[in-house]
Amino acid sequence: MIVLVLLAVPFAHNSYFLHLLTLMFAFAVMAEAWNLMGGFTGYPDFGLVVFFGLGAYTTGLLMTKQKAPFPVAFLAGGLLCCAFAILVGLLLLRLRGHYFAIATLGISQAVREIVANWPSVTGGGTGVSLPIPDFENNVFYYIMFGLLVIIVAFTWSISRQRLGFGLLAIREDELAAQVLGVNTLRYKVTAYATSGFFIGLVGGAYAYWVTFIDPDTIFNVGFSVEVIIMAVLGGAGSIAGPLIGAFVLTGVSEVLNAYVPSLHVTVLGAIIVLVVLLIPNGVIEYLGFKRKFTLRSIRSTLAATRI
């Protein structure tokens, strides 16, 4: 029923509500994608904006310089981010904890500087102007909604397969996971590449939606922070948690920007502090959902499945 209602939203002809939901879906996809690394695997990725930016620039440059149609450029952006995640992940995913977090943040800023200082290819600081979409804005609504449905289904599916249990085992005890036969590097790279692919697709769709991109906006580290807060607010490591966090935080941000913009950052900061102090495992725990998997159940499941 909820899906049918969401599919019918564009027919209400409320442009602001359509814009707000499209933005909510975009952040929800990125929060769910980040959740594969930060929630399931326990590796805090603070550089997810690099995939958002690369996806946006790949889509924009292919459409403006190569005259590629949007669907081709859009998919190319996701695939490039997936390949980039594999190459970078093979190096960075040998690090752990705050070392990994700092390294991912450094990579995102390094790529930003390359894009900003390569004007012959990327347009440099002046940015890239994409062609005006030849279809209605509700198409972007359905794109973001479709991506959300796909990544939620994917996350739900792997959470019941060996890959999901392997990622959870890595989060709980990586050395124990290796003893159980989990190829930890391969599992981590798989999660990282999948995360990069979906975030890259969101970046590509967003670039065509707003029709203009530049390094300072697209590679803004604030995107990474917002997405991480959304996942943690809702409940990282769960499937519904990042969705709840994305919808709540995006809605609150819009209300604050509209009515009390001067208190926007202050109120959001207070909300985050209260959540961390009162419900550290996220809103989803407050709603009565408990962690389904324990280290013992993960180990028994991995041992019972084929390596």
Residues across the chain = 307
For residues 189 and 90, the answer to whether their CB atoms sit within 8 Å is yes
Report the C-alpha gap between 284 and 51 in whole angstroms.
Answer: 27
Per-residue pLDDT tens digits for 170-198 = 998 898 888 888 899 999 999 999 999 99
CB within 8 Å of 133: residues ≥ 6 apart: 70, 139, 140, 208, 209, 211
At 244 the three-state DSSP class reads helix
Q: Which residues pair with 129 in a beta bridge?
A: 212
Q: Which one has a higher pLDDT value, 270 or 132?
A: 132
Taking the model in full, what pTM does it have?
0.91
Would the pLDDT of 88 be above 50? yes
> Residue 212 belongs to what H/E stretch?
strand 212-213
User: Which position has the token pair 């495992």?
Assistant: 281
* 163-169 contacts at long range (C-beta below 8 A, 24 or more positions apart): 163/187, 163/190, 164/40, 165/293, 165/298, 165/301, 165/302, 165/305, 166/302, 167/36, 167/40, 167/41, 167/191, 168/40, 168/237, 168/293, 168/298, 169/295, 169/298, 169/299, 169/302
Report the C-alpha gap between 280 and 234 in whole angstroms.
Answer: 10
For residue 300, the model assigns a pLDDT of 56
For residue 299, the model assigns a pLDDT of 56
